[in-house]
Structure 1
Amino acid sequence: MTSTLDAPTANEPNRSPKPVISGRRRDSAQFGIYVFVILPFIALFAAVPFAWGWGLSWVDVGLGAAFFIFSGLGITAGFHRYFTHGSFKAKRPLRIGLAIAGSMALQGPVITWVADHRRHHAFSDKEGDPHSPWMFGTSPVALAKGFWHAHMGWLFERDMTNSQRFTPDLLADPDIVRVQRQFGLWTIVSLVLPGVLGGLITWSFWGAFTAFFWAGLVRVGLLHHVTWSVNSICHMIGERPFQARDKSANFWPLAILSFGESWHNLHHADPTCARHGVQRGQIDITARLIWIFEKFGWATKVRWPTTQRLARISANEE
């Protein structure tokens, strides 16, 4: 009998599929995850006393905001809506640019990120989901454990999602494979470039250090937790106006910081839709960026929501 984890997903042919897990992460790679998860996390805790004792300049704020927006939209428009779900078609320069921008968020290489997220959708809130908050039960203790697991605990597990099964399209793209291999380079650029710019703008070593701290480490840590909150909070609490196969929910307080990703119920009800915030007043910055790409001719065949499309997934549908 085929187990749940080996069952074909909705987008896979009805044949014996490749396994979900391809192996165990090497010690060196596991160490890298600990460093790039924990170090920005420590920087977030240090941010308040650092600002209190030494201050926060407008150069730091400006660079931090710029790198947060650039790398954050690389995740939302690039890694998520384009590479994972194919919400639009992108010209080659845009495709490469989105892969680089997303890599600079330091959430993992593009193919690895997409494989994990496609696996999440294939088994959302069921056995096989890499980061469901419901995997331990519904008691208060189980939910607390589940929240930790969904938010960041799952990152420390050593099982690797099988990219041969979940991302054969990206593995066949030489440009994306190249960006995947260059993840170390874009990690260095993401952390060092803010410091270089801060030093040049202020013409001081102190300006370089504070820019590295705020626009490098703190920015990465904040963006990490915004993204992880979509995995954890948006599968636990919020509104569910659309029909989905899981517990995905809309959580409005995260809408701006997540660039529209926290309208998560619509996304799980209609994963390929290019706009997640489809109801009145739901700000979706990522969708607006995709709209700009489309106007410039850089993106085509955008899967915008339609009245008929939304009617099919409405929770109020009789």
Structure 2
Amino acid sequence: MSSSSTLSQDSATPYDATTSQTYDGTAPFPDDDSPAPRRRGGERLYVTVTAVIVVLPFLALGLAAWLLWGTLIRPADALLALVLYVVTGFGVTVGFHRGLTHGGYRAARPVRIALAVAGSMSFQGDVIGWVATHRRHHAFTDRPGDPHSPYRYGTHLRGQLRGLAHSHVGWLFRNDPTPAERYAPDLLADRDIRAVSRAFPALCVLTLALPFALGWAIGGTWVHATTALLWAGLVRIALLHHVTWSVNSLCHMIGRRPFRTRRHDRATNLWPLALLSFGESWHNLHHADPTSARHGVDRGQIDPSAAVIRVLERLGWVHDVRWPTQDRVAARRT
């Protein structure tokens, strides 16, 4: 199990320490903080694969609309989409994020592996790469070194609009890999997590094959299988992608900031995303107290991921949960 003590958000070695320390909070980020470029062939392959992952679900949505024109979506398709959205979504929020990235709790080995598998089926990248990128985001939030800050191009209007697109999806196309050796050495040393990471391509196939097979089993025809694949496979993946990316983008530009964060860190709380993101959009508290297992700490702030962790704790499947205390929360309020 990873812990924030493995790589604290203040102790990570910057790509460019001098630039990061002198950043004034308004200027565009310099372009000299990226690692050496990939070889030309590798760069084209990276961009091609990323484009397929980003664009294909939306093409699928158009195809689904064409196939189902004049008819209603089948209840089985909607149910499958909901179940897989919840399973893979909690894999990301409870497994990838609050557990493996920040060490908000410690899990029994089967639970840790199951959550890592579920998160991998979200199509958001292999578990080690995901964790490394997110730890780097916390190490350099909204300053040079942050892989997906909406302030990369400055704080003027044009820069903000360009930055919003960058933080939402554009960063995926940049030649800016995050070294796992630096940001996730604990996961590289974990043979179970390494195995899940290597299995990522197979898990991507599984997350699409599963709704296709279940649609066929329920309906008995290729049409039922295809519509299940489109709605419970590709469209479900697209929705979860954009909810996750919205936390990267919108939750650093729009919303309230009731808690203090580090200099330049502009993480916000954005309540409309709370349910779809399973509590991840209470982002301001998360950046004020990254290891907290609960992000929605105020009255009425729904946090389904924290509820799942609570259930797992009561079952004895997770322990050493870092629940927020009143004093700790009060100390971080503005």
* Distance in 1 separating the partners of 2:121 and 2:331: 37
Q: Contact between 1:131 and 1:231, CA under 8 Å: does it hold in 2?
A: yes
Q: Percent identity?
A: 52
* Distance in 1 separating the partners of 2:279 and 2:126: 22
SS of the residue corresponding to residue 42 of structure 1 reads helix
Deviations 1:98-131 (A, max 9, x none): 1100000000000001111000000000001000
The residue identity in structure 1 corresponding to 2:38 is: R
TM-aligned CA deviation for residue 145 of structure 1: 0.4
Q: Contact between 2:215 and 2:224, CA under 8 Å: does it hold in 1?
A: yes
* 1:193 corresponds to: 210
* 2:128 corresponds to: 111
Q: Does 1:24 align with 2:42?
A: no
TM-aligned CA deviation for residue 50 of structure 1: 4.9
> Structure 1's 242 and 95: CA in aligned 2 closer, same or farther, altered over 3 A?
same
Q: How does 1:28-67 map to 2 (within 5 A)?
A: 28-46=45-63, 48=65, 50-67=67-84
Residue 138 of structure 1, aligned match among 147, 155, 165? 155
* Distance in 1 separating the partners of 2:70 and 2:134: 40
Deviates more, 1:33-42 or 1:249-258: 33-42
TM-aligned CA deviation for residue 35 of structure 1: 1.2
* Distance in 2 separating the partners of 1:95 and 1:151: 28
Residue 100 of structure 2, aligned match among 80, 83, 107? 83
* Distance in 1 separating the partners of 2:64 and 2:105: 38
* Distance in 2 separating the partners of 1:81 and 1:9: 14
* Distance in 2 separating the partners of 1:164 and 1:41: 34
* 2:141 corresponds to: 124
Residue 68 of structure 1, aligned match among 85, 89, 108? 85
Q: Contact between 2:128 and 2:187, CA under 8 Å: does it hold in 1?
A: yes
Q: Contact between 1:23 and 1:160, CA under 8 Å: does it hold in 2?
A: no
The residue identity in structure 1 corresponding to 2:189 is: A
* Distance in 2 separating the partners of 1:51 and 1:282: 37
Q: How does 1:306-317 map to 2 (within 5 A)?
A: 306-315=325-334
> Mind listing any 5+ residue stretches in structure 2 that lack a counterpart?
1-7, 18-32
The residue identity in structure 2 corresponding to 1:235 is: H
Deviates more, 1:218-227 or 1:22-31: 22-31
Q: Does 1:258 align with 2:272?
A: no
TM-aligned CA deviation for residue 44 of structure 1: 3.9
TM-aligned CA deviation for residue 21 of structure 1: 4.3
* 2:24 corresponds to: none
* 1:303 corresponds to: 322
Deviations 1:140-184 (A, max 9, x none): 211110000000000011221011000000000001011111101
Deviations 1:223-271 (A, max 9, x none): 0000000000000010111001211000000000000000000000000
Q: Contact between 2:252 and 2:268, CA under 8 Å: does it hold in 1?
A: yes
* Distance in 2 separating the partners of 1:311 and 1:192: 47
Q: Contact between 2:64 and 2:227, CA under 8 Å: does it hold in 1?
A: no
> Mind listing any 5+ residue stretches in structure 1 that lack a counterpart?
1-7
* 2:198 corresponds to: 181
> Structure 1's 66 and 148: CA in aligned 2 closer, same or farther, altered over 3 A?
same
> Structure 1's 12 and 142: CA in aligned 2 closer, same or farther, altered over 3 A?
closer
Q: Contact between 1:22 and 1:161, CA under 8 Å: does it hold in 2?
A: no
Q: Contact between 1:22 and 1:160, CA under 8 Å: does it hold in 2?
A: no
* 1:4 corresponds to: none
* 1:5 corresponds to: none
* Distance in 2 separating the partners of 1:92 and 1:252: 33
Q: Contact between 1:30 and 1:156, CA under 8 Å: does it hold in 2?
A: yes
SS of the residue corresponding to residue 232 of structure 1 reads helix
> Structure 1's 47 and 149: CA in aligned 2 closer, same or farther, altered over 3 A?
farther
* Distance in 1 separating the partners of 2:268 and 2:64: 30
TM-aligned CA deviation for residue 13 of structure 1: 8.6
* 1:247 corresponds to: 266
Q: Does 1:226 align with 2:243?
A: yes
SS of the residue corresponding to residue 177 of structure 2 reads strand
The residue identity in structure 2 corresponding to 1:282 is: Q
Q: Does 1:99 align with 2:121?
A: no
Q: Contact between 2:61 and 2:230, CA under 8 Å: does it hold in 1?
A: no
Q: Does 1:210 align with 2:227?
A: yes
Q: CA RMSD in A?
A: 2.1
TM-aligned CA deviation for residue 32 of structure 1: 2.0
Q: How many residues align?
A: 306
